[in-house]
Amino acid sequence: MSVRRSFHVTKGGWALLAVGTLLALGAFNASLNMTYLLASLLIGIFLIALVAPLWSTGRVDCRRTLAELPRAGQTFKVELRVESRRRTTARFLALRDPLCRLPSGETAQRLLLRLRPAERITLPVQGGPLRRGAHCLPGVSVACGFPFGVAESLVRAEGEEELLVYPAQGALSLEMSLALKAQGTRVGAPNRVGIPSEEFRAVREYRPGDNPRRIHWRATAHHGTLHVREMERERFAPMLLILDSRIPAALPPDERRRAQDALELAVSFAAEVCRTAQRERSGVALLAFFPAPRLLRVGPTGEIESAVGEPPPLPALPPVATSPGARLPYGPNHVLTALARLQPSSGERAGELTDILNAVETAQLRRVLAVTPTRRTALGLRALADELSARLLIAAEPGFSAVFRLSAPEGEAPA
């Protein structure tokens, strides 16, 4: 791991050097041995304090790992792993991570009083809260001003890491949760509610491993060889969720900020719909701007089974590592990863979504649900919602809280 070193003299160090220099000049003019001794002592302390921080930060490595999944608007646990490759003890190391911020906006730090040779230490810290999306983070830095704070040596890992913050969690209404339960539909057969069953498909020759109960005796007698009934498992029709992620560029600044907040609420709602559908072993088809229009067919595991439209850009930076035993972030082909990377579209029209729907078979969809940020964006989506007989939800409206409500951060009461 390549590191970048920096070194600077603090204000106290410059003051100490100025006092020592003035004493030396005064001693030279007055020829006072005691003043010479005091000036030499101060300058000697200054020189020792210049070298000590450089020596103390040598061969010390520090990196961050995620202890839990980062979600928008919530703090999350981060671990700083410090390792010494020295033969001597390092003292008074200050660990600074850009993820940890004080209320004033400054970077918080953890002080490590002693690090023995070849010792490894894990320090828990708290990161966030951050907005949803991909964040580029510089590496963790190790600083030392030991022993007198005259100078500070800073060692920082070069390069940047990508931290992907996922949509915030929330709770769906009981009606919405029940609508996401698996509901089987067969092609050419009436709908059935309940567990998946099987439907007769054709008669074929017996194969080793076939269930003897499926032997078709009439076909067996006719052909003279064993024939069995081939069954077709019931398919599950997914729910189509239309996420209108448009924020028109012509909006005034105040209205644009409100639309962005409403869009974040809509994205969190879409993420919770996908989580609930995954928990119910049901499927979802998600149609949104990423910022280009794209339809994602999501399976019961949350993985994207197929997609129609332009794919989102791939990450250019390495992701932040996760600590052993922690819950791993979702993979790059997971729907929540796509929602975390979703960027709003600046277009005024929602007609591009219709072109995507024309490329798929919408007759097999169980139900259509559309969510849009504001009343203004709802005007462009209403025609499509009426055509698909979709329920249209507006995230900025007060009634949206009856369908979805964000979970309160730890230590706070629900809103």
Question: Is there a single domain that holds both residue 72 and residue 209?
Answer: no
From start to end of 281-335, where are the E strands?
A: 284-289, 293-298, 304-309
Determine if the pTM surpasses 0.85.
no
Within a domain: residue 414? no
For the stretch 167-179, pLDDT in tens is 999 999 988 888 7
Question: Is there a single domain that holds both residue 178 and residue 140?
Answer: no
Q: Are 272 and 404 in contact (CB under 8 A)?
A: yes
Q: Could you give phi then psi for residue 381, rounded to 5 degrees?
A: -100, -15
DSSP one-letter code for 186 = -
For the stretch 381-398, pLDDT in tens is 888 888 888 889 999 999
Within a domain: residue 193? no
d(CA 240, CA 11): 62
Single out the residue of 337, 351, 345, 334 nearest to residue 387, CA to CA: 351
For the stretch 348-361, pLDDT in tens is 777 788 878 876 66
Question: Is there a single domain that holds both residue 281 and residue 363?
Answer: yes
More confident of the two residues 410 and 331: 331
404 CB-contact burial (10 Å; exposed 0-12 / middle 13-18 / buried 19+): buried
Single out the residue of 345, 243, 252 nearest to residue 295, CA to CA: 243
Within a domain: residue 189? no
Question: Is there a single domain that holds both residue 219 and residue 267?
Answer: no
Question: Is there a single domain that holds both residue 145 and residue 205?
Answer: no
Q: Are 340 and 167 in contact (CB under 8 A)?
A: yes
Question: Is there a single domain that holds both residue 227 and residue 286?
Answer: no
Within a domain: residue 126? yes
Query: What pLDDT shows up at residue 16?
Result: 86
> What mean pLDDT is reported for the chain?
83
Pick the range with the lowest mean pLDDT from 117-126, 188-197, 200-209: 188-197
- Read off the CATH number of the domain in which 123 is found: 2.60.40.10
More confident of the two residues 231 and 40: 40
For the stretch 362-383, pLDDT in tens is 545 667 889 999 998 898 888 8
Q: Could you give phi then psi for residue 211, rounded to 5 degrees?
A: -70, 125
Within a domain: residue 188? no
3-state secondary structure 62-79: EEEEECCCCECCCCEEEE
d(CA 42, CA 392): 75
Q: Are 277 and 404 in contact (CB under 8 A)?
A: no
Question: Is there a single domain that holds both residue 146 and residue 176?
Answer: no
**Structural domain that includes position 228:** 198-233
Overall number of domains in the chain: 3
User: Which distant-in-sequence residues (6+ apart) come within 8 Å of 165 by Cβ?
Assistant: 70, 71, 72, 128, 130, 131, 132, 133, 134, 135, 340
Within a domain: residue 44? yes
Query: What pLDDT shows up at residue 335?
Result: 92
Question: Is there a single domain that holds both residue 267 and residue 362?
Answer: yes
Within a domain: residue 101? yes
Question: Is there a single domain that holds both residue 358 and residue 227?
Answer: no
Question: Is there a single domain that holds both residue 225 and residue 273?
Answer: no
Within a domain: residue 378? yes
Q: What is the mean pLDDT of residues 26-36?
A: 80
Q: 293-296: which pairs have CB atoms within 8 A and are 24 or more residues apart?
A: 293/352, 293/353, 293/355, 293/356, 294/356, 295/356, 295/357, 295/359, 295/360, 296/335, 296/338
| Helix 33-56 and helix 11-30, axial crossing angle in degrees, nearest 10 | 160
Question: Is there a single domain that holds both residue 290 and residue 371?
Answer: yes
pLDDT tier, 248 (very low <50, low <70, confident <90, very high otherwise): confident
Does the pLDDT of residue 229 top 90, yes or no?
no
Question: Is there a single domain that holds both residue 374 and residue 357?
Answer: yes
Pick the range with the lowest mean pLDDT from 41-50, 128-137, 322-331: 322-331
